[in-house]
Structure 1
């Protein structure tokens, strides 16, 4: 990704990463030469550098370096120079993709990059998680949580993803093992280790950030796993709370085991976050359960601004959470009206596409800093 303007490079890099690309940004011709020496890119996205002669020099550099990847120019739709530079690239023997006129739509970018986009995965596809761990295909992505009183980032949920060489970004449903699979423990250990590393990165010079990880309740039976989790916690005042998310069904089913583990975890400032909470769930059994956070299911959040029954269910769950002295999280927020309703009902935090999609660690940091900066202006 080559352009003289940093914000343009960041914007396009984010768009490319969402499509599964691993990106590197350059702002000068010298940076392009260095990048070509360091690795062999499959695609170079080249913006209108100023002056225009820099674009010509970059194209000549690619020719002299015998670049065998593809090149895509982008710039104003009305710029005649965009077409002229594209023709220059073709005449020079470079593999040129159609120019990307700005402003552009997502469909334009998809169409231009179709030769690179992975084959869509079959819904029934199952990927061997052991193979994925062995080949380094697994990544941790993060979805921000927003404090609904201050409208500032207050935490993030860690979500595992796979970057498959054929299918691109693969969601966890296609590869996370079942409870009886021996690879589940190894995968969970991987998640804990990677999240702790990223959490250390997030905390450098930034406000404290709550972190949520998903752990199967079956592993909480293992005192060794719980002890290793506690020992990996960063020992620094800059780190806020860690939440271990467990599905509400598992809490009710494995009540005694999870409660015992929760009692041990709270001594290390690790709380249990109960996910997929339904108003009709039997919470009478968890009246003495040390819950730190209740995540109200998106089925109740979506449309709560207009649906009295959903709103009543949310209010009931919030009342239970207050009795348990637990925080409340409104999941899957997608509409501004539902966000306003969640604020009125006194939810502590919200999460969903209204604020941000799951993203890689570097992008999460940029997103949080951008939101905090906007709030202080």
Structure 2
């Protein structure tokens, strides 16, 4: 059976590479900025006193951006030359003093940006920028942490505790850095392409593509709501061009429970859903653990969405009490297992038992069972023989941008799942 499934995969996707390590959040070394200059790994910021009333907001912004802060009384050429901090911030009531500071920075071979802060002037210094000090548009008279965070994140200086590049979702949304990738979903019985999950990405001007771990933590419900609406709109807009290439795909989007607004999403569906009667609908994935405490809410949302051709998938199924809680009233059309359950499932009896139990629950719920993050042919074969309906993972195809996904479809016209 393994040779059969491998032949089917090769016929549709081409010969698959060996499984790689799981995707990680990109670091500065992964994507050098324009001009080929490497992005430094340090995230130290030097704050030159006095900052005046803006000091607390500046320090708050730096802390939220994951930067290490060092406060000094004045610019020390020898110290700066040795430590080469990423960022230098200073503020003066007298523009002449600010100009003098710029001159001193330039004299010790530091190229940077001049950032007016409030009534005074601030120096935002970036060693990687060439061409000497430059003046940025003034910040608001009352400097708020978000103002400085936007500058820091635009320049790619924000980091998490692991040193990985990060950006606040609010910044990415306001800067229009959001994009969407598509990961194929395979119907295991026929081994044909049946759908794709729409996955959010950030296209950072310095670091390139950032994965959700770089921008979803600490997001507000409002930001998640805007991202959810954008994801749904992107999925709705993508169906027709994919259909023209010969594939009637059921696309899915993942939306946090706290971001779901019934009327707002209903209005968006009515306004942007394809009018073609052949449109197969859309899947909205919600975290199964979160649904346990919101069954009535999800039941109402699901009933409303089904009127517009949208169904619910219980994502990350298998965690917490999702296997024992009665979620049948939600009316989910799909159960999607947590990624870890499907990994090495052919060798792990405990995970195999969870898959069998989930398949039994799927039959009770009258839902399909989707297995996520499948990385080997052995696991794909095992799940197919078990009777699972669909799967995603590296063994089939990694997530790809819309252009690459369309190219894949164009090269495989006529092989869509029925």
Q: Which residue of 1 aligns with 2:345?
A: 304
Superposition deviation, residue 299 in structure 1? 1.5
Give the C-alpha shift of residue 292 in structure 1.
0.5
Which structure is richer in relative contact order (CA contacts within 8 A, separation 6 or more)? 2
Within the candidate set 347, 355, 367, 2:408 is matched to 367
Alignment partner for residue 383 of structure 2, among 319, 342, 360? 342
Unpaired runs of at least 5, structure 2: 1-25, 37-154
**Matched-pair contact (CA < 8 Å) for 2:246–2:413:** no
Bigger radius of gyration: 2
Question: What does residue 235 of structure 1 align with?
Answer: 275
Q: TM-score, normalised by structure 1?
A: 0.64
Name 1:140's counterpart in structure 2: 180
Runs (4 or more) in structure 1 with deviation over 3 Å come to: 18-21, 118-126, 177-181, 368-376
Task: Within 5 Å, give how 1:1-377 maps onto structure 2.
Answer: 122-124=159-161, 125-176=165-216, 178=218, 180-278=220-318, 281-371=322-412
CA distance in 2: counterparts of 1:285 and 1:148, whole angstroms: 27
For the Cα contact (< 8 Å) 2:284–2:312, is it kept in 1? yes
Question: Structure 1 residue 326: deviation in Å?
Answer: 0.5
The structural deviation recorded for 1:253 is: 2.0
Give 1:133 shift.
Answer: 2.5
The CA deviation at 1:372 is: 5.4
**How high is the TM-score relative to the length of structure 2?**
0.58
**d(CA) in 1 for partners of 2:207, 2:269:** 32
Q: The residue matched to 1:288 in structure 2 has which SS?
A: helix
The count of aligned residue pairs is: 266
SS in 2 for 1:285: coil
Question: RMSD of the TM alignment (CA)?
Answer: 2.9
Higher deviation after alignment, 214-223 or 146-155: 214-223
1:259-289 Cα deviation digits (max 9, x unpaired): 1100111122211011111075244331322
Consecutive unaligned residues of structure 1, counting only runs of 5 or more, are 1-17, 22-40, 44-117
The match for 1:49 is none
Tell me how far 1:122 sits from its aligned partner: 4.0
C-alpha distance in 2, partners of 1:179/1:121? 15
Q: How far off its partner does 1:190 sit?
A: 2.1
Per the alignment, residue 74 of structure 1 pairs with none
The answer to whether the Cα contact below 8 Å between 1:178 and 1:184 also exists between their aligned partners in 2 is no
Q: CA deviation at 1:127?
A: 1.0
